[in-house]
């Protein structure tokens, strides 16, 4: 393949991926309600978004769940990865296989299983169960993001720090964590985006009155998509793009 053909292929792939997002952004500025025709530029749907309390509550719930689940899953997943790295080869292989099960399993299985578990424990479905579900869902991804950085770290480095008088806590804080920080950032970003994107877990493990962006879009789709969703999706896309750029800059600074 010539260089021109390779470039054309790459352009077509990215056009296929981003064309729907571009259309959504364009129609978020459409004055009319119909998606089949563009009647003129307007910010009417952004003003409607600001006045729609139901959608704003869903946005608040979504980012609250994502923030809490990211914080907890990053902490637990990072410490878990450090522990797994110290296992013997046979034990490590079995633990990593168990860690892969939630990643490889269809979301519907985990969602129904967690819902049955909460019902068995007589827990009321709501914001608490939603956060717990997202934590359980995102921890394996944090582990998988941190482990490669731990493998790159020389095994003698923590031992040398403790030989020089550092306590285990000091070794963790001043030697191990700085070395694996890019993996922690990557795992946290993945956990945050997966939490915001999730629908199946949110649908099965939340209660009445607790909506997220994905569940409210689903309910709107059954009775016709409100153009407010176009404006909301545009704001979220720009926010996540800015967050991704910020994380990349911070990761380069750390490296």
Distance CA 164, CA 151 (A): 22
Collapsed DSSP state (helix, strand, coil) of residue 28: coil
Tokens representing residue 48 in the block: 């409607």
At the fourth CATH level, which superfamily is domain 52-254?
Answer: MetI-like (1.10.3720.10)
pLDDT computed for residue 75 by the predictor: 94
Alpha-carbon separation of residue 97 from 86, 149, 150, 194 (angstroms): 16, 19, 18, 21
pLDDT computed for residue 107 by the predictor: 86
pLDDT computed for residue 142 by the predictor: 93
Distance CA 37, CA 40 (A): 9
Distance CA 55, CA 46 (A): 12
- Between the two ends of the chain, the Cα-to-Cα distance in Å is 35
Q: What residues does each domain of the chain span?
A: 1-42, 52-254
166-192 confidence digits (pLDDT tens): 777 888 888 888 888 888 888 898 899
- Indicate the pTM of the whole model: 0.83
Distance CA 236, CA 122 (A): 35
């Amino acid at each position: 393949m010539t260089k021109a053909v390779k470039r054309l292929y790459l352009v077509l792939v990215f056009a296929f991926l981003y064309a729907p997002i571009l259309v959504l952004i364009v129609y978020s500025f459409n004055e009319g309600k119909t998606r089949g025709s563009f009647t003129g530029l307007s910010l009417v749907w952004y003003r409607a978004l600001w006045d729609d309390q139901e959608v704003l509550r869903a946005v608040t719930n979504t980012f609250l769940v994502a923030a809490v689940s990211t914080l907890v899953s990053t902490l637990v997943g990072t410490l878990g990865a450090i522990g797994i790295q110290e296992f013997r080869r046979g034990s490590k292989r079995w633990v990593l296989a168990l860690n892969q099960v939630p990643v490889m399993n269809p979301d519907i299985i985990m969602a129904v299983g967690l819902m049955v578990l909460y019902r068995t424990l007589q827990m009321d479905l709501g914001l608490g169960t939603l956060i717990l579900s997202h934590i359980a869902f995102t921890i394996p991804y944090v582990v998988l993001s941190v482990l490669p950085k731990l493998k790159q770290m020389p095994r003698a480095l923590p031992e040398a720090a403790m030989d020089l008088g550092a306590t285990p806590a000091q070794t963790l804080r001043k030697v191990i964590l700085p070395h694996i920080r890019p993996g922690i950032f990557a795992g946290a970003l993945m956990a945050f985006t997966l939490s915001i994107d999730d629908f199946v877990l949110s649908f099965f493990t939340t209660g009445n009155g607790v909506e997220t962006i994905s569940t409210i879009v689903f309910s709107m789709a059954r009775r016709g998509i409100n153009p407010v969703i176009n404006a909301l999706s545009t704001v979220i896309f720009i926010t996540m793009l800015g967050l991704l750029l910020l994380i990349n800059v911070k990761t380069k600074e750390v490296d």
